[in-house]
Structures are given as C-alpha cells and as structure tokens.
Structure 1
Amino acid sequence: MKPLFILLIVFTITVFVIKFLTHHYNLPLAGRIAMCVMLIFTAIGHFAFTKGMEMMIPDFIPFKTEVVYLTGLMEIILGIGLLFPSTRVYSAWILIIFFMLILPANIKAAIENIDIQKASFDGPGLSYLWFRIPMQILLIIWVYISTIRI
C-alpha cells in the first residue's frame, strides 16, 4: 500500500512542479519520475527487510539473499533508467517483465501469510492478493503509458 501512495503522491506533486517550471503539463515525465521514486523506495525494502523478502522466493531458487539484493539494485537502476531518453524504453520493458516475474513471489507471500517486515508468518494472507494483483497490473500499465507509448 505504501508504494502506491508514494507513486500517486509523487506523481501529483511532480505534475504541478513541472507545470510551474515549464508552464506545460508533462504527464509522461511526471509518471516516470514518480515510478523512479517508488522503485527506489521499494528497493530500500530489499536491504532493510532482506530476511522477509527471502521468504517470498520459491524454494527451488538458490542464493536467496543475493537474489533479494540483486532485485533491489535492479529496481534502483531501472528506475533511474526511466529518466534518461537513451535508456528509458529498455528500462521500461525490463521493468514490465520484472513486474510479471515477481508476481509469483507475491502470491507465495500471500499464501504463506508472510510478513516481510517482521520475517514471520503472520502477514495479511490471501486478502493481500486482492490489492497486490491489481497493483501489479497498474504498475505495468503505468510504465507502458509513461514510457513506451509516448
């Protein structure tokens, strides 16, 4: 829920800052900036809540700690990549694939009631998916519209 709030709040603020500075609305740029900030925020979770994030990764995947750190680093790099014309489309397509690939980890976390902040099994459970799946779809559409479709 926090990442969604960050995405929407940063987007709203950025829309008005860009309008104030340039006298024009630039919704795609505001969307990319908001996505970048949100990705940096979520990446911090990979380093702050590593153990809980490891619990989300399917058992057959080795080197869970490294995977958590690598995906956090990817979120930062790809988020920043959205801001540069030469890398934004590549970053967007990789992010879209990334958002699809992490959905099974979120499903696992919901099924097993994983609370990533506490690294425990007393999380929100399956009800979390009613929020998470639409949010994943929103993130994919957001990246596509603000970066690829423009």
Structure 2
Amino acid sequence: MVTPIIILFLLSSPLAISFIYSKFSDTPLNVTKYACWGLGIAFIFFFIGHFIQAEGMVEMLPSWIPFRLALVYVTGLIELLIGVALFVPRYQSLAARLAIVVFIIFFPANIYAALNGVGLGGHQWGAVYLLIRGPLQIILIAWAYFLCVKSHHHLIQPADKVLTD
C-alpha cells in the first residue's frame, strides 16, 4: 500500500523543492513548470511499473481482453511519452491533457482489479482499495488540470517583489 504514497511524493517533490529554493533565493516560482515535472516523474514511475510488474498488470485486465501483455507494454510506452513530454514546455499542456485522459481511461482496470482482489499494489484489499485509489485519481486529475493545464506558465513572485499601491 506504499505505492500511493510514493506517487504523491514523486508528484509533489519538484514543486516543493522549487518552492523552498524560490523562498531562499528570492526568485519567482514557476508553478506550472515544476508541477508538470512532478507529473512527468509520476508518469515515468507508472511506465517503469508497466515493465517491472507486467504480469501483475496483465492480471488487472479481464481475461476476455485480447493481447493483454502487449496492451500493458503499449500503455506503459504511452505513459513514458506523456512523462517525457511533461518536461518539454512546448508540450506540457497537451501532455497534461493526455494524462487526464489516461487517468480516466485506465481507471476501470483499477476497479476490475480491486473488485477481483488482484494482488498488485493494494488491489488485493478488494473494493476498499478504491477508497484510496479513487481519491488518488481525483488528486492526479486535479493536479494535471489546475497546475499544468489551466494555470499554464503561472509564476509566483517572492513576497517582497510584489508591487503594492
């Protein structure tokens, strides 16, 4: 059940580190840049999981789905492409939008795995795991939308640099 904590740590670390750095260096904080980097790191983590835990991921899919192992690898490569694109300013907004689509499209596999007690990443807990996974998906979607899409290129100035009337 450590995986959601790892995901949240990977997601938030670049933004947290850059926030601390901006406070000590008195430089503006580019929220979008570092939020996208965190999401990118999370997606690269997801990609790695698709290759290291490929057989477990296959079990997360119903048996009637053809080419399950190939599908796990292909979706892992999609996650890698999204992850890398989140580091490139030109593609960050598009990649974040694709990340949201991936979170929505892949969620039924998590529901299936939880309802069938698949022994991967907490799914063996059964339906109760969805009480963790569901909110995590909402956090990831909100992060992608509000920090990487909606507020694209948002800078926060240090407090002493803010102009007052």
1:44 Cα deviation from its structure 2 partner: 0.8
Alignment partner, residue 103 of structure 1: 107
Q: Which runs of 5+ in 1 are unaligned?
A: none
Distance 2:26 2:83 in 1: 23
What amino acid is the match of 1:137?
I
Structure 1 residues 64-83: aligned runs within 5 Å: 64-83=68-87
Question: Corresponding residue for 2:9?
Answer: 5
Q: State whether structure 2 residue 164 is matched by structure 1 residue 124.
A: no
Percent identity of paired positions between Structure 1 and Structure 2: 34
TM-score by length of 2: 0.79
Alpha-carbon distance, 1:146 to partner: 2.0
Task: Choose from 28, 32, 40 the match for 1:28.
Answer: 32
Mapping for residues 18-57 of structure 1, pairs under 5 Å: 23-57=27-61
Q: Secondary structure at the match of 1:87?
A: helix
CA RMSD of aligned residues (A): 2.1
Q: CA separation of 1:108/1:135 partners in 2, compared to 1, >3 Å: closer, same or farther?
A: same
| Higher RCO (CA < 8 A, seq sep 6+) | 2
**Is there any run of 5+ residues in structure 2 with no aligned partner, and where?**
152-165
Q: Which has the larger radius of gyration?
A: 2
CA contact (8 A) 2:111 2:130 kept: yes
- Give the superposition deviation at 1:40: 0.8
- Compute the TM-score of the two structures, normalised by the length of structure 1: 0.87
Alpha-carbon spacing, 1:64–1:115, altered in 2? closer, same or farther (3 Å)? same
Would the aligned equivalents of 2:33 and 2:89 in 1 still touch at CA under 8 Å?
Answer: no
Query: 1:137 corresponds to which residue?
Result: 138
Q: What whole-Å deviation, never above 9, does each CA across 1:23-53 have from its counterpart, x for those lacking one?
A: 1112221111111111111211111110110
Equivalent residue pairs, number: 147
* 8 Å Cα contact 1:56/1:108 also seen in 2: yes
Question: 1:144 is paired with a residue of what secondary structure?
Answer: helix
Task: Tell me how far 1:74 sits from its aligned partner.
Answer: 1.0
